[in-house]
């Protein structure tokens, strides 16, 4: 199965939607370039123009007006849960190949991802735009102090294995999962719409020592930090 960033790849198994990944340093609100999808069932819009095409689309901040919004009303996936331990293991196996620090789950990043996955599901979109702002805004609202954040989003599969594979075959999304500075992750799915959030904490004392991070935990041993 072949996946391409910014396009829908259709196979007998599923169709996947990916938009450009977002990486936000503490001083930057990065917008996105706009790219048209070649799939007839998907409309790629700007956040500013989405209100003319997507039912009940909310008013977003002006800083998000150029963000790409991929309207995906015919998402074939329906998942509302996934194997969190397995997703963490899949990401950490990728990081291990580069000798990178393993990630751990953080409650604030899980909450951020849950909020955004639900937003995407509510409006049937794959996007970084959100009525709560981008991932950094959501984390700040939760009281999480960060030095950088990143986010991957997607749709079209019920499996954490397939969505991580799709992200790993996209250079930008893979770069987020392999960012050397991130230490924590959160992930969620709602009606087949996925969000994967990453952060490096501003307070380095909150970083879990490498030897204490279980890169591939079992479901029973999975730890969520706060």
- Residues in a beta bridge with 17: 155
Q: Which contiguous run of DSSP H or E holds residue 20?
A: none
C-beta of residue 193 within 8 angstroms of C-beta of residue 155: yes
Residue 1 lies in a domain: no
Above 90 in pLDDT, residue 21? no
Structure confidence at residue 3 (pLDDT): 28
Q: Could you list the residue range(s) of the whole structural domain that residue 179 is in? A: 9-225
Structure confidence at residue 19 (pLDDT): 61
Domain count, the chain: 1
pLDDT in tens, 152-206: 999 989 999 999 999 999 888 999 999 999 999 999 999 999 999 999 999 998 9
Q: What integer is the mean pLDDT of 49-75?
A: 89
pLDDT in tens, 110-148: 999 999 999 999 999 999 989 888 899 999 999 999 998
Residue 3 lies in a domain: no
Residue 22 lies in a domain: yes
Structure confidence at residue 132 (pLDDT): 86
Above 90 in pLDDT, residue 42? no
pLDDT in tens, 199-225: 999 999 899 999 999 999 999 999 999
Residue 2 lies in a domain: no
pTM of the predicted protein model: 0.85
Residue 204 lies in a domain: yes
> In whole angstroms, how large is the CA radius of gyration of the chain?
16
Q: Which of 197, 173, 179, 191 is nearest to 105 (CA)?
A: 197
Residue 67 lies in a domain: yes
Above 70 in pLDDT, residue 27? no
Strands (E), the chain: 9-10, 15-18, 22-25, 43-46, 68-71, 104-106, 125-127, 146-155, 184-190, 193-201, 224-225
211: CB partners within 8 A, 6+ apart: none
- If pLDDT is split at 50, 70 and 90, which confidence band does 62 have? confident
Q: How far is 8 from 187, CA to CA, in rounded Å?
A: 22
Structure confidence at residue 221 (pLDDT): 96
Residue 4 lies in a domain: no
Higher-scoring residue by pLDDT: 24, 90: 90
CATH of the domain at 147: 3.40.33.10
pLDDT in tens, 68-120: 899 988 888 999 999 999 999 999 999 999 999 999 999 999 999 999 999 99
Q: How far is 171 from 166, CA to CA, in rounded Å?
A: 10
Work out the mean pLDDT of the chain and round it to a whole number.
83
């Amino acid at each position: 199965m072949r996946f391409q960033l910014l396009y829908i790849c259709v196979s007998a198994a599923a169709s996947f939607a990916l938009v450009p990944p977002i990486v936000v340093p503490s001083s930057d609100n990065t917008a996105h370039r706009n790219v048209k999808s070649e799939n007839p069932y998907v409309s790629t819009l700007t956040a500013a123009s989405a209100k003319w095409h997507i039912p009940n689309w909310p008013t977003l901040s002006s800083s998000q007006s150029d963000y790409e919004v991929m309207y995906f009303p015919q998402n074939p996936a329906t998942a509302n849960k996934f194997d969190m331990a397995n997703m963490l293991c899949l990401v950490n196996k990728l990081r291990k190949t580069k000798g990178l620090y393993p990630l751990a789950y953080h409650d604030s990043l899980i909450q951020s991802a849950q909020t955004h996955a639900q937003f995407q599901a509510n409006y049937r979109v794959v996007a970084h735009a959100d009525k709560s702002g981008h991932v950094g805004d959501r984390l700040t609202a939760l009281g999480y102090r960060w030095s950088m954040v990143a986010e991957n989003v997607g749709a079209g599969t019920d499996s954490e294995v397939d969505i991580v594979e799709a992200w790993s075959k996209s250079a930008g999304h893979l770069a987020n999962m392999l960012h050397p500075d991130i230490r924590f992750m959160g992930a969620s799915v709602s009606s087949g719409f996925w969000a994967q959030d990453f952060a490096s904490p501003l307070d380095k004392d909150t970083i879990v020592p490498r030897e204490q991070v279980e890169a591939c935990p079992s479901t029973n041993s999975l730890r969520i930090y706060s």
